[in-house]
């Protein structure tokens, strides 16, 4: 695709509920499927892993190998009812300070094990809400990372809850050279905000965006949701219009996954008011049409970016990747997760820290790495993971010769028959209308998926 300019203001994208970009085949979307932020997925993690596995992986990091860091802050000022994150209320300052002390110590322990090897090119702060801590505490955390690791002009990104954001925070992010910020917006409709337990006036979001721009944030992302209880197409259109008035550089548009049997806090949400599968599908389609008509480029299956945003540039150049933070242009093969429940990724293993913040602190206080679960990735996993990632990020994949894929190719037939997929001898190419089916097609190459997938979300 040739892109010549930034988004030009338009009177208004004219996508409406009746417009169609995708054919709807509910039978091809019937099975819940993973989001594939890794392969194997976290559902395959087992308990036979300890800090030794992390120590050995760190010992294999090369002198100048690119590293990405992720620091998890599992606290929020207010807990949203829909949220599936590992997070708790930030209402006890001693607990929070104790957690941050452990996070800093873990950074120092990992940095010491690396002994100057590796070059950190990205540092992401997520949660939870990193702005549940104070700006001063955040600045101290950044200083710890700078001391503990060898940095190579890293890109810093932070997830922000607009409800607790202020000028002091904006100044702190500016001083730390944070260039990317993701805001949890979800919906601008007040009655839907009340229905999902996240009330935040649009003025708070407008103010947050303005402060962030003044502080030098080059890329601002909005997370939005469709499929919310009682959400109409008109609600979604209104939210998209209001979002574009604030000119985000990126948007991620997620379908709400209602799984109260797995996420007890969702029991407060009225499941009887949820849109049905067909309505969800067409809401995803409406968002796609609206944002692409407004000049955003579709990135993977649920992200959108301005043509000049780094994510869009990477996607056009074939450099889009998928990791635990979703779609990214980060190509580091080593991602080190710090904090409770954080996941580290190495070519041959995925390792997850202890999820419980109290037990995480105990492990770190014993000067031990806090790994509690994980999975090894063998050659077949890597090959299958490459197919899945290529389908989700590029829309096409080359099938390696050494893999036995007879049953997988047979399972693709309904997607081919529906015109969603073109198959060569060893190549697969998703057709443009296959975007909402991408995860379902990719899941065919997941050797761990049987029919069990109650713990995954709807494909759209
Ligand atoms: S602010 Fe974000 S992380 Fe915190 S509870 Fe709400 S959705 Fe979850």
Average pLDDT in the chain: 94
Query: Quick check: CB of 160 below 6 Å from ligand 1?
Result: no
Cβ–ligand 1 contact at 186 (below 6 Å): no
- What percentage of the chain reaches a pLDDT higher than 90? 89
Measure the CA–CA gap between 381 and 447, rounded to whole angstroms.
8
Alpha carbons 77 and 54: distance in angstroms, whole number: 32
DSSP-derived letter for residue 400 is: P
- Euclidean distance between CA atoms 177 and 424, whole angstroms: 47
Contact partners, residue 359, CB within 8 Å, separation at least 6? none
116 has pLDDT over 70: yes
Q: Which residue has the higher pLDDT, 451 or 112?
A: 112
Q: Closest Cα to residue 358, out of 107, 141, 98, 128? A: 98
Q: Between 89 and 251, name the one with better pLDDT.
A: 251
Mean of pLDDT values over 262-287: 96
pLDDT > 70 in the chain, percent: 95
* Centroid of ligand 1 to alpha carbon of 60 (angstroms): 35
Instruction: Tell me the per-residue pLDDT of 10-61, one tens digit each, with 9 for 90 and over.
Output: 445 777 767 788 999 999 999 999 999 999 999 999 999 999 999 999 999 9
Residue 35 exposed, middle or buried by CB count within 10 Å (0-12, 13-18, 19+): middle
Token pair 């992720």: residue: 70
Structure tokens at 193: 């905000």
Average pLDDT over residues 284-291: 97
In angstroms, the CA 250 to CA 248 distance is 5
How many CA atoms lie less than 13 Å away from 213 in the CB half-sphere? Answer: 10
Q: Report the distance separating Cα 187 and Cα 196, nearest Å.
A: 10
Nearest to 25 by CA among 391, 430, 437: 437
Residue 8 has pLDDT above 60, yes or no: no
pLDDT digits (tens, 9 = 90+) for 138-184: 999 999 999 999 999 999 999 999 998 999 999 999 999 999 999 99
pLDDT in tens, 255-272: 999 999 999 999 999 999
Q: Residue 358: name the closest of 74, 109, 91, 69 by CA.
A: 74
Confidence of residue 459 (pLDDT cuts 50, 70, 90): confident
CB neighbours (10 Å) of residue 251?
Answer: 24
Answer yes or no: is the C-beta of 161 below 6 A from any ligand 1 atom. yes
**Distance (Å, whole) CA 86 – CA 127:** 7
Mean pLDDT of 227-236: 98
- CB of 154 within 6 A of ligand 1: the answer is no
Domains and CATH numbers, the chain: 16-40+378-460 (1.10.10.920), 42-344 (3.80.30.20)
For ligand 1, atom 5, the nearest C-alpha belongs to 79
**DSSP secondary structure letters along 11-22:** S-----TT--SS
Residue 239's pLDDT is what?
98
Q: Which helix (H) or strand (E) holds 313?
A: helix 310-316
Q: Confirm or reject: Cβ of 158 under 6 Å from ligand 1.
A: no
Beta bridge partners of residue 328, listed in sequence order: 321
What pLDDT does residue 86 have?
A: 83
pLDDT over 80 (residue 274): yes
- DSSP code for 183: E
- pLDDT score for 453: 46
How far is the C-alpha of 326 from the C-alpha of 136, rounded, in Å?
28
- Summarised one tens digit per residue, pLDDT across range 203-216 is 999 999 999 999 99
Euclidean distance between CA atoms 352 and 345, whole angstroms: 9
């Amino acid at each position: 695709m040739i892109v010549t300019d930034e988004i030009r203001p338009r009177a208004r994208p004219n996508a409406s509920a009746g417009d169609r970009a995708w054919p709807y085949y509910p039978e091809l979307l019937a099975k819940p499927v993973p989001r594939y932020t890794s392969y194997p997925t976290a559902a395959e993690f087992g308990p036979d892993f300890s800090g030794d596995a992390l120590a050995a992986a760190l010992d294999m990091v090369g002198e100048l190998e690119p590293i990405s860091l992720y620091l998890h802050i599992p606290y929020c000022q207010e807990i949203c009812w829909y949220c599936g994150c590992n997070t708790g209320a930030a209402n006890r300052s001693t607990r929070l300070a104790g957690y941050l002390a452990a996070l800093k110590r873990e950074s120092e322990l990992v940095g010491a094990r690396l002994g100057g090897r590796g070059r950190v090119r990205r540092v992401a702060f997520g949660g939870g809400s990193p702005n549940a801590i104070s700006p001063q505490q955040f600045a101290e955390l950044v200083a710890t990372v700078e001391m503990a690791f060898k940095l190579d002009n890293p890109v810093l990104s932070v997830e922000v809850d607009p409800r607790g954001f202020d000028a002091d925070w904006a100044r702190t992010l500016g001083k730390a050279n944070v260039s990317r910020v993701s805001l949890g917006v979800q919906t601008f409709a007040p009655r839907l905000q009340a229905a999902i337990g996240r009330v935040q006036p649009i003025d708070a979001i407008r103010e947050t965006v303005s402060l962030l721009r003044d502080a030098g944030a080059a890329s601002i992302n909005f997370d939005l949701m469709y499929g919310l209880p009682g959400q109409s197409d008109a609600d979604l259109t209104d939210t998209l219009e209001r979002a574009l008035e604030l000119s985000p550089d990126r948007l991620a548009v997620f379908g709400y996954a209602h799984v109260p049997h797995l996420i007890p806090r969702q029991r407060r949400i009225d499941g009887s008011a949820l849109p049905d599968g067909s309505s969800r599908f067409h809401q995803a389609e409406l968002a796609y049409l609206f944002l692409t008509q407004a000049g955003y480029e579709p990135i993977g299956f649920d992200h959108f970016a301005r043509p000049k945003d780094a994510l869009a540039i990477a996607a056009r150049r074939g450099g889009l990747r998928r990791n635990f933070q979703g779609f990214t242009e980060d190509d580091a093969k080593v991602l080190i997760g710090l904090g409770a429940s954080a996941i580290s990724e190495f070519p041959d293993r995925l390792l997850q820290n202890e999820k419980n913040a109290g037990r995480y602190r105990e492990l770190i206080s014993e000067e031990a790495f806090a790994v509690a679960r994980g999975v090894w990735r063998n050659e077949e996993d890597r090959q299958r993971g490459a197919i899945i990632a290529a389908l989700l990020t590029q829309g096409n994949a080359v099938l390696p010769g050494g893999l036995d894929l007879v049953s997988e190719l047979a399972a693709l037939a309904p997607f081919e028959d529906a015109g969603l997929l073109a198959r060569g001898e060893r190549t697969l190419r998703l057709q443009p209308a296959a975007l909402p089916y991408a995860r379902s097609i990719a899941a065919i190459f997941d050797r761990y998926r049987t029919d069990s997938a109650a713990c995954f979300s709807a494909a759209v």
